């Protein structure tokens, strides 16, 4: 019985589905109430308590029946068909490999630092919910991201706990013979062995590589020592392990994904290794193999500034990749470097990982609509002479995994009105159903949430003060801080200058008046860590601590140290308004404000990232004018004043306005209802993963199969056509363009010399850029006469309404080969002079 009980509980504890499905919480609480309260980590509980305790509990029929029921529910959820299977998509997509440097799945597995990991973890969870065959590939770090202490002077102190694999909800990945699966890489002078681990996430898996193998050269054991090591050589080796080692791990497992999803440029080396394996399997040369495999790669960029991309000097790369390029890829090292450069001939230009990802992918997307515009500017040098709006970067706006961030009370309210399976399929009716929730029910949800948050804050601050050696009177005073009936604002994120975390502190006296108003008080909760090397950001934290420690402020404001996933969860469930004040357009997307939506929280944010497309007057409040401004004190002062005015004149009065006989803030609750109904489904990872599946994964898998057909023969034919097109492009010319206007339209004729080029390989268009309120126009010109005899030019014609001047239009040529991604694969373009 002991073995059966342990086996059953192990199956439950090693599936991180418990991080968003809390049905088993009472099981772990019964096993060890104190340890469960401290960790909320089933695997820690199971690893710590005695086997006698497990056997005794499992001998109890009610306990055993609960465990058996939970096991049955878990297996049913993992094995039953989901949204993806209902598409019939299983026949067209076997596997998507999602490569990321970090994954935020649970505080129990601290291999993340912030937003990038949040996105990766939430998308993996949603893929499990929806049945999309996504698997994750990442690294197992020997120490987690920093844990924060605030000393008596208000300074951040960083500590880095060791990740003991035995205390993490992971398992070694073993071969059928029981041997630990290890992946081999060759780095300068040494072979490196990478141990493989697996993490079950519902119906999908996350595979992690770890360099801390006793057989490794000692310095190489530290490759996975820490997330985002500051030393550039360490970062490079981590990215080699992720991309090259990650693909080799999949091959060792017998997994051959049609699609690779590169979550940021860190994973770009998988482009090279996937190409190498295809070369080895088919005998095709590198150029052909890349033309085939790139069709199965999807690249998501999260970076909003050019300096944010990882770039490496040729001198740094050469020891690691020169021999790999020449022996494994059949490429001179300079040609490999060209894949990561704007100018292949510039020997001094660094190698940019994002550029390699772009040149190795079928599609590129940013993480919000505004970030798409920013990214097109960043990547425009790769596509010279192309209009900015045609630089091939789309967007899939981020979302959050709603079941991971909702409170139990919010979950119950949504279940009552939208059903238990609301996040497991399409979301077409969810919004309308939520609009039927009575105002009183919404107010009850918010009142209870705020009360629970205040109790959590009191307990948390008491522990913080005790740990810091505060006087007993100060510790006892925490029982009286904050008020469950008071408007509560939250600001929690990584502290960095561009996020302007101290904008609200611009005028301390004005903020003091807002917080301490006797009739309409406000309470403020802050949390966040600064990078250990970012001293200016640490100084911003210290400014806040000093402000909060003033006696009159202390009852109304709090800085929660050691900002982590559990803290985030409590804050987003309890605060009334989430503040966000980045400098536009530096916040690529942001997800923290999305997490409050399901819980009835509202957003007051700069019009940046996701909020730039989410905001309307019915759902929250906007800061800024939607334009970019210089980084200067004058603009910050103006936006700080605007922030205060929005709080003083709109947010606070609306919260405290009690209407009629109901005694409820009806305008506030109407805003909550609209925010929950309109924004929660739209900014959920349910929508995100469905978007990726329909717009990227399924088309990429089909394109990969098409080019890989016949052992790569179709890919070889495609590459030959592309090479011929590029070689002959310089011979094309636009000989003449004539126009006439009449009958309310402009008629254009163009004479085009195509040389030996097949007309089917060239797209001839009439182009007019956006101007004077008119949209960009691209009109295909029809071939009306082919070159022959005394007429050496092809003739094309197009007619357009005479709504704008003839001079607005110009003729251009671009590539048009069947199946060719333009301009991603072929940026050739020719404009009328």
Residue 478's Cα: distance from chain center in Å? 37
According to the model, what pLDDT value does residue 788 have? 84
Q: Averaged over 290-305, what is the pLDDT?
A: 96
3-state secondary structure (DSSP) of residue 224: coil
Residue 317: which residues within 8 A CB-CB, separation 6 or more?
Answer: 236, 337, 351
> What are the tens digits of pLDDT across the range 243-280?
999 999 999 999 999 999 999 999 999 999 999 999 99
Q: Which tokens is 545 given?
A: 């601590």
| Alpha-carbon gap, residue 721 to 727, rounded angstroms | 10
* CA–CA gap between residue 146 and residue 158 (Å, rounded): 6
Q: Which of 89, 134, 79 is nearest to 257 (CA)?
A: 134
Centre a 10 Å sphere on the Cβ of residue 213 and count the other Cβ atoms it contains.
14
Greatest C-alpha distance within the chain: 101
- Residue 298's nearest CA partner among 694, 577, 615 is 694
Q: What is the pLDDT of residues 35-77, one digit of tens each?
A: 998 888 999 999 999 999 999 999 999 999 999 999 999 999 8
360 vs 298: CA distance, rounded Å: 9
Q: How far is CA 121 from CA 167, 366, 400, in A?
A: 20, 18, 9
- pLDDT category at 2 given cuts 50, 70, 90 is low
Copy the structure tokens of residue 13: 């504890």
Strand partners, 752: 734, 794
Q: Coil, strand or helix: which one is 369?
A: helix
DSSP calls for 580-640: E---TT--S---GGGGGGGGT-EEEEES-TTHHHH--TTTEEEES-SS---S-HHHHHHHH
pLDDT for position 144: 77
Q: How many CB atoms lie within 10 A of CB 198?
A: 18
Q: At residue 1, does pLDDT exceed 50?
A: no
Q: For 605-649, what is each residue's pLDDT tens digit?
A: 999 999 999 999 999 999 999 999 887 888 999 999 999 999 999
DSSP 49: S
Radius of gyration for the chain, computed over Cα atoms and rounded to the nearest angstrom: 29
Backbone CA torsion sign across 393, 394, 397, 398? negative
CA distances for 520 relative to 483, 556, 576, 820, angstroms: 12, 12, 14, 62
| Residues whose CB is less than 8 angstroms from the CB of residue 598 and which lie 6 or more positions away in sequence, other chains included | 402, 405, 406, 410, 414, 676, 680
Contact 487, 577 (CB under 8 A): yes
d(CA 199, CA 168): 10
The arithmetic mean of pLDDT across residues 734-741, rounded, is 95
**CA nearest to 523, candidates 477, 567, 479, 487:** 487
Read off the pLDDT band of 478 (50, 70, 90).
confident
Q: Lowest-confidence range among 268-277, 380-389, 713-722?
A: 713-722
This prediction's pTM: 0.95
- Give pLDDT tens digits for 82-141: 999 998 766 789 999 999 999 999 999 999 988 899 999 999 999 999 999 999 999 999
Question: What is the band of 660 on the pLDDT scale with cuts at 50, 70, 90?
Answer: confident
pLDDT (0 to 100) of residue 89: 66
* Higher local confidence (pLDDT), 3 or 550: 550
688-701 pLDDT per residue, tens: 999 999 999 999 99
Peptide bond into 823 cis (omega under 30): yes
Average confidence (pLDDT) over 453-457: 94
Which residue blocks in 114-205 are alpha helix, DSSP H?
115-130
The sign one gets for the Cα dihedral 186, 188, 191, 192 is: negative
Beta strand pairing call for 794-801 and 745-753: antiparallel
710: Cβ contacts below 8 Å, ≥ 6 apart: none
Q: Where are the beta strands (DSSP E) in 140-189?
A: 147-150, 156-159, 171-172, 182-187
Which run of H or E residues covers position 780? strand 777-780
β-bridge mates for residue 742, sequence order: 745
- Check if the beta carbon of residue 574 is closer than 8 Å to that of residue 456: yes
The H or E element containing residue 574 is: helix 565-574
DSSP calls for 736-803: EEEEEEETTEEEEEEEEE-TT--GGGEEEEEEE--BTTBPPEEEEPEEEE--BTTB-SEEEEEEEETT
Residue 98 confidence (pLDDT): 98
Q: What's the rounded Cα separation, in Å, for the pair 71 and 80? A: 14
For 190-227, write each residue's pLDDT tens digit: 899 999 999 999 999 999 999 999 999 888 999 999 98
Distances from the Cα of 554 to the Cα of 461, 462, 516, 541, angstroms: 11, 13, 10, 16
114, 275, 629 from 373: Cα distances, Å: 23, 30, 16
Once rounded to an integer, what is the mean pLDDT over residues 280-292?
96
Task: Write down the mean pLDDT value for the chain.
Answer: 93
Provide, rounded to the nearest whole percent, the portion of the chain with pLDDT above 90: 79
Beta strands in 101-155 (DSSP E): 134-139, 147-150
Confidence band for 673, pLDDT divided at 50, 70 and 90: very high
CA distance 305 to 284: 37
Q: If you average pLDDT over residues 771-780, what whole number do you get?
A: 92
Of the ranges 377-381, 666-670, 724-728, 789-793, which one carries the lowest mean pLDDT score?
A: 789-793
What pLDDT shows up at residue 833?
86
Strand partners, 485: none
User: What percent of the chain stands above pLDDT 70?
Assistant: 99
For residues 662-667, give the mean pLDDT. Answer: 93
622-640 core/surface letters (b: 16 or more CB in 10 A; e: else): bbbeeeeeeeeeeebeebb
Q: What is the pLDDT of residue 493?
A: 87
**Encoded tokens for 689:** 């993963």
How far is residue 361 CA from its own chain's centroid? 18
Least confident of 182-186, 519-523, 563-567: 563-567
646 CB-side CA count, 13 A:
19
Please tell me whether the peptide bond between 585 and the residue prior to it is cis, using omega within 30 degrees of 0: yes
Examine the pLDDT at 719 and tell me if it is beyond 80. yes
CA distance 382 to 829: 13
Highest mean pLDDT pick, 410-419, 622-631, 787-796: 410-419
Alpha carbon distance 112, 145 (integer Å): 7
Q: Domains in the chain, please, with CATH?
A: 2-79 (no CATH), 96-140+190-398+696-705 (3.40.50.2000), 413-676 (3.40.50.2000), 732-831 (2.60.40)
| C-alpha span between 614 and 610 (Å, rounded) | 6
Tokens at residue 14, please?
A: 């090693």
Instruction: Measure CA 657 to chain center.
Output: 38
Crossing angle of the two packed helices 666-682 and 685-692, in degrees rounded to 10 = 30
Coil, helix or strand for 171?
Answer: strand
Identify the H or E element spanning 310: none
CB within 8 Å of 272: residues ≥ 6 apart: 243, 244, 324, 329, 336, 356, 360
């Amino acid at each position: 019985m002991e073995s059966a009980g342990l086996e059953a509980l192990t199956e439950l504890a090693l599936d991180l589905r418990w991080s968003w499905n809390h049905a088993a919480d009472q099981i772990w609480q019964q096993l060890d109430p104190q340890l469960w309260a401290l960790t909320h980590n089933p695997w820690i509980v199971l690893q710590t308590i005695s086997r006698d305790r497990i056997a005794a509990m499992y001998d109890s029929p009610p306990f055993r029946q609960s465990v058996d029921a939970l096991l049955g529910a878990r297996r049913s959820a993992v094995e039953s068909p989901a949204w993806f299977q209902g598409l019939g998509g299983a026949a067209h997509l076997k596997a998507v490999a999602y490569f990321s440097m970090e994954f935020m799945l649970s505080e129990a597995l601290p291999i993340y630092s912030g937003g990038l990991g949040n996105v990766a973890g939430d998308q993996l969870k949603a893929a499990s919910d929806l049945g999309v065959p996504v698997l994750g590939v990442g690294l197992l770090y020997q120490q987690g991201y920093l844990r924060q202490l605030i000393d008596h002077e208000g300074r951040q102190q960083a500590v880095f706990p060791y990740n003991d694999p035995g205390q993490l909800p992971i398992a070694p990945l073993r071969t059928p013979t029981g041997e630990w699966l290890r992946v081999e890489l060759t780095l300068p002078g040494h072979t490196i062995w990478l141990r493989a681990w697996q993490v079950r996430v519902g119906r999908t898996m996350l595979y992690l590589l770890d360099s801390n193998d006793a057989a490794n050269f000692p310095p190489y054991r530290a490759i996975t020592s820490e997330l985002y090591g500051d030393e550039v050589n360490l970062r490079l080796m981590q990215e080699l392990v992720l991309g090259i080692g990650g693909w080799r791990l999949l091959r060792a497992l017998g997994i051959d994904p049609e699609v690779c999803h590169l979550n940021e440029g860190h994973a770009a080396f998988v482009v090279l290794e996937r190409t190498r394996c295809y070369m080895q399997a088919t005998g095709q040369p590198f150029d052909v193999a890349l033309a085939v495999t790139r069709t199965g790669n999807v690249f998501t960029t999260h970076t909003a500034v050019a300096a944010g991309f990882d770039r490496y000097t040729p001198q740094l790369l050469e020891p690691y990749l020169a021999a790999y390029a020449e022996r494994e890829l059949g490429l001179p090292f300079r040609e490999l470097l060209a894949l990561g450069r704007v100018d292949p001939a510039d020997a001094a230009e660094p190698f940019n990982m994002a550029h390699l990802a772009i040149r190795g992918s079928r599609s590129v997307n940013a993480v919000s609509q505004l970030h798409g515009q920013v990214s097109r500017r960043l990547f425009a040098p790769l596509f010279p002479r192309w209009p900015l709006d045609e630089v091939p970067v789309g967007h899939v706006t981020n979302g959050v995994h709603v079941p991971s961030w909702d409170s139990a009370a919010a979950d119950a309210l949504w279940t009552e009105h939208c059903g238990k399976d609301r996040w497991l399929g399409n979301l077409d009716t969810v919004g309308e159903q939520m609009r039927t929730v009575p105002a009183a029910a919404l107010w009850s949800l918010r009142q209870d949430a705020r009360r629970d948050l205040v109790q959590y804050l009191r307990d948390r601050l008491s522990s913080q003060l005790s740990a810091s050696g505060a006087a007993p009177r100060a510790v006892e005073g925490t029982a009286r801080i904050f008020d469950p009936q008071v408007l509560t604002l939250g600001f929690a994120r990584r502290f960095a200058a561009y996020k302007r975390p101290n904008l609200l502190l611009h005028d301390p006296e004005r903020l003091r008046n807002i917080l301490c108003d006797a009739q309409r008080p406000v309470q403020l909760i802050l949390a966040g860590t600064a990078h250990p090397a970012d001293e200016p950001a640490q100084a911003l934290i210290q400014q806040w601590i000093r402000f909060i420690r003033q006696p009159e402020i202390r009852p109304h404001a709090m800085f929660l140290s050691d900002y982590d996933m559990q803290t985030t969860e409590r804050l987003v469930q309890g605060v009334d308004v989430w503040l966000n004040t980045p400098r536009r357009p530096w916040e690529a997307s942001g997800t923290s404000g999305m997490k409050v939506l399901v819980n009835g929280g509202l957003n007051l944010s700069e019009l940046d990232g996701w909020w730039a497309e989410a905001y309307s007057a019915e759902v929250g409040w906007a800061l800024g004018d939607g334009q970019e401004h210089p980084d200067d004190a004058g603009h910050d002062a103006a936006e700080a004043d605007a922030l205060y005015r929005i709080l003083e004149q709109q947010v606070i009065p609306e919260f405290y306005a009690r209407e009629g006989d109901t005694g409820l803030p009806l305008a506030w609750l109407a805003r909550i209802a609209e925010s929950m109904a309109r924004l929660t489904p739209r900014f959920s990872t349910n929508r995100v993963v469905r978007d990726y599946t329909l717009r990227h994964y399924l088309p990429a898998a089909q394109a990969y199969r098409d080019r890989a057909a016949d052992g790569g023969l179709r890919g070889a034919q495609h590459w030959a056509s592309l090479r011929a097109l590029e070689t002959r492009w310089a011979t094309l010319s636009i000989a003449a363009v004539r126009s006439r206007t009449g009958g309310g339209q402009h008629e254009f004729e163009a004479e085009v010399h195509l040389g030996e080029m097949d007309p089917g390989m060239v797209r001839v268009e009439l182009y007019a850029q956006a101007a004077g309120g008119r949209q960009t126009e691209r009109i295909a010109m029809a071939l009306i006469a082919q070159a022959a005899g005394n007429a050496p030019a092809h003739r094309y014609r197009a007619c357009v309404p005479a709504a704008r001047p003839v001079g607005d239009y110009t003729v251009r040529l671009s590539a048009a080969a069947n199946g060719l991604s333009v301009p991603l694969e072929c940026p050739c373009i020719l404009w009328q002079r």
